[in-house]
Chains A and B, each alone.
Chain A
Amino acid sequence: MPDEPIPALPDCMSDEQKQRYATIAAIARATADRVPHATNEFSEPAHVFDRHREAT
């Protein structure tokens, strides 16, 4: 993630712990980028999934 700033990490974290951020964030970003971001605008988010309630 060379073009994005590293967010402020908690002061209580050691430098060694903070250094893991770049690796972890790169993996997380790659995952998020695989999720389609340009879907049908009528496709709404399903947070707490509700369609199962149709069965009740």
Chain B
Amino acid sequence: MTDLTQMTMRAASEAVRTGQVSPVALTEAYLARIADVDSTVRSYILVLADTARAAAHAAAAEIAAGGWRGPLHGLPFAVKDNYFSRGVRTCANSRVLMEHVPTFDATILARLREAGAILLGKLNTWEYGTSMGPFYDDLPFPPARNPWNVERITGGSSTGAGASVPARTALFALGSDTGGSVRLPAAACGLQGLKPTYGLVSRYGILPNCWAFDTAGPLCWNVWDCAAVLQAIAGHDASDPTSAGEPDDYLSNIEGGVEGLTIGFVVDLDCNGAHPDPAILTNLAAAAAVFARAGATIVPMDLPAPVLRYRDAASVINWSESYSIHEHDFRASADKMGQALRDKMMAGLSMKASDYLAALRERRVLADANAAMMRGVDLLLAPGAFHVAPKFADAGGIAAYTGDTAMTPFNISSHPAISLCSGFDADGMPTNIQLVGQWFGEATLLRAAYAYEQATPWREKFPQVS
């Protein structure tokens, strides 16, 4: 293999461990790939070539001396540009933060560095991780483009994370998910994207969007990759007041299969009259059949409430908290903000304290209903994004893409959820399914996701970006 960026993460990890591939060569391959294609896909806001090379040399020396740290040692990755990076500008694609240079690393980034991974750079994002539906091309860095078709959006808000892995400009990527911002770009770009249980992964040092829902997780080509990254980043952090629990072992039983598991299967969703694309529904039904053939029991289920009800509560909470977080910046620098963020600030400004508290009370009702639903099953299989990624020129399609999903219900209830590539539509665009686990049940969730991935051919097809 002449191009090291074509290796799977698992193969690259093993090759680095055994000395067959040097972290230096691997990092250079990714930097060359970035130079070749990133002017097209725009996955990065900032490339850190010099520090990546230095870290790669250090990793190579350490491994050669018998100091292999674990599966991520020497592997090149990138983070969304809302992750604080010590001494490196973190702007979240906002003119408001163009001079912002943090003095510390986000806990996740620190843990990945500690695991020996090589930071390639900071990834593109919607401003502060914000979308209000419509797309406005008014941010300091132009939008990331979908590697499967560069005329189409990546989903968001972790846009660069979605673009980078299929474009092979990063071996794995980290995003953040408030209402679907890991799973939505994963769905759009044919990746596996994991939103962990709220509290399992520290958010400390990630620019907040909405405290009540913010989570962070990996976007990867394979499920094994997600498990390896989660293993490195999960666990208690005293700096994050929501941090709960200690990590499980996500890798040792990942090949354990789904025999004996009960999977609730949600097809009929009431999403304000919106319905998933036919290709997404077809591939969702096929996924249920895959799980059944692998030994799982499939049980038809309904969500306990219409999706719009979850979205309404989430929107009010998100607008209110986001306004509180960014009020100073809005007052001082609203003219520097893009229209989507400015609109969100004005939505927050129009909320009353009683609206916010009503939405938080509604959240508890809905979360308890979800918990009751989940008590009857091991996992839930449901649509994630209802559509494939639309074209930039399709304003209505973009609004529908961000609005028509079944992702928010699991931000409301904090359950872990993973978006998995489920095939392709007639235009060659990736379709997706969503698999939901029990609170802190990521080991079982990833085991089932791995079983699905192994039973399907979707990881054998790659986008062609030139």
A associates with B: yes
The contact of B350 among A1, A34, A45, A52, by CB within 8 Å, is A1
Q: Is the CB of A48 within 8 A of B346?
A: no
Asked if B212 is at the interface of the complex by the 8 Å CB criterion, the answer is: yes
Neighbouring A residues of B197 by C-beta, 8 Å: 52, 55
Neighbouring A residues of B413 by C-beta, 8 Å: 49
Q: Is the CB of B364 within 8 A of A27?
A: no
Q: Is the CB of A32 within 8 A of B359?
A: yes
Give the distance in Å from the alpha carbon of A14 to the alpha carbon of B362 in the complex: 36
Neighbouring B residues of A17 by C-beta, 8 Å: 334-335, 342
Contact with A along B187-231 (1 / 0, CB 8 A): 000000000011100000000000110000000000000000000
B residues 346-381 with Cβ under 8 Å of A?
346-352, 354-355, 357-365, 367-368, 371
Q: Is the CB of B334 within 8 A of A12?
A: yes
The contact of B312 among A34, A39, A55, by CB within 8 Å, is A34
Neighbouring A residues of B357 by C-beta, 8 Å: 45
Closest to B333 in A: A12
Q: Is the CB of A25 within 8 A of B346?
A: yes
Neighbouring B residues of A32 by C-beta, 8 Å: 312, 316, 351-352, 355, 358-359
Interface size on A, residues (CB 8 A): 35
Beyond A10-B332, A17-B335, A55-B438, whether A46 also contacts B346 by CB under 8 A is: no
Q: Is the CB of B212 within 8 A of A47?
A: yes
Q: Is the CB of B440 within 8 A of A35?
A: no
Beyond A35-B359, A51-B371, whether A10 also contacts B330 by CB under 8 A is: yes
Q: Is the CB of A47 within 8 A of B347?
A: no
Give the distance in Å from the alpha carbon of A36 to the alpha carbon of B438 in the complex: 27
Closest to A18 in B: B346
**Separation in Å of the A4 CB from the closest CB of chain B?**
8
Closest to B347 in A: A28
Asked if B245 is at the interface of the complex by the 8 Å CB criterion, the answer is: yes
Give the distance in Å from the alpha carbon of A21 to the alpha carbon of B343 in the complex: 8
Q: Is the CB of B319 within 8 A of A28?
A: yes
Contact with A along B61-99 (1 / 0, CB 8 A): 000000000000000000000000000000000000000
Q: Is the CB of B334 within 8 A of A10?
A: yes
The contact of B364 among A29, A45, A52, by CB within 8 Å, is A45
Neighbouring B residues of A48 by C-beta, 8 Å: 211-212, 241-242
Q: Is the CB of A46 within 8 A of B241?
A: no
> Most A CB atoms within 10 A — which of B211, B246, B350?
B350
Closest to A12 in B: B335
Give the distance in Å from the alpha carbon of A52 to the alpha carbon of B439 in the complex: 6
Beyond A12-B332, A48-B241, A52-B414, whether A35 also contacts B346 by CB under 8 A is: no
Neighbouring B residues of A20 by C-beta, 8 Å: 339, 342-343, 346
Closest to A4 in B: B350
Neighbouring A residues of B316 by C-beta, 8 Å: 28, 31-32, 35
Give the distance in Å from the alpha carbon of A20 to the alpha carbon of B358 in the complex: 26
Give the distance in Å from the alpha carbon of A54 to the alpha carbon of B359 in the complex: 22
Q: Is the CB of A55 within 8 A of B351?
A: no
**Separation in Å of the A12 CB from the closest CB of chain B?**
4
Q: Is the CB of B358 within 8 A of A25?
A: no
Q: Is the CB of B199 within 8 A of A53?
A: yes
Asked if A7 is at the interface of the complex by the 8 Å CB criterion, the answer is: yes
Asked if B461 is at the interface of the complex by the 8 Å CB criterion, the answer is: no
Neighbouring B residues of A29 by C-beta, 8 Å: 350
Neighbouring B residues of A35 by C-beta, 8 Å: 312-313, 316, 355, 358-359, 362
Q: Is the CB of A39 within 8 A of B347?
A: no
Give the distance in Å from the alpha carbon of A25 to the alpha carbon of B364 in the complex: 25
Give the distance in Å from the alpha carbon of A31 to the alpha carbon of B331 in the complex: 24
Q: Is the CB of B367 within 8 A of A46?
A: yes
Give the distance in Å from the alpha carbon of A21 to the alpha carbon of B367 in the complex: 32
Q: Is the CB of A10 within 8 A of B331?
A: yes
Neighbouring A residues of B245 by C-beta, 8 Å: 53, 55-56
Asked if B46 is at the interface of the complex by the 8 Å CB criterion, the answer is: no
Closest to B412 in A: A49
Beyond A39-B358, A49-B212, whether A27 also contacts B347 by CB under 8 A is: yes
Neighbouring B residues of A55 by C-beta, 8 Å: 197, 245, 438-441
Give 12 A-B contacts (CB < 8 Å), ordered by A residue.
A1-B350, A9-B346, A13-B342, A25-B347, A31-B315, A32-B355, A35-B312, A35-B316, A45-B357, A46-B364, A52-B440, A53-B245
Interface residues of B (CB under 8 A from A): 197-199, 211-212, 241-242, 244-246, 308-309, 312-313, 315-316, 319, 330-335, 339, 342-343, 346-352, 354-355, 357-365, 367-368, 371, 413-415, 438-441
Interface residues of A (CB under 8 A from B): 1, 7, 9-10, 12-14, 17, 20-21, 24-25, 27-29, 31-32, 34-37, 39, 43-49, 51-56
Pairs A-B, 5 closest by C-beta atoms: A45-B360, A46-B364, A25-B350, A56-B245, A28-B347
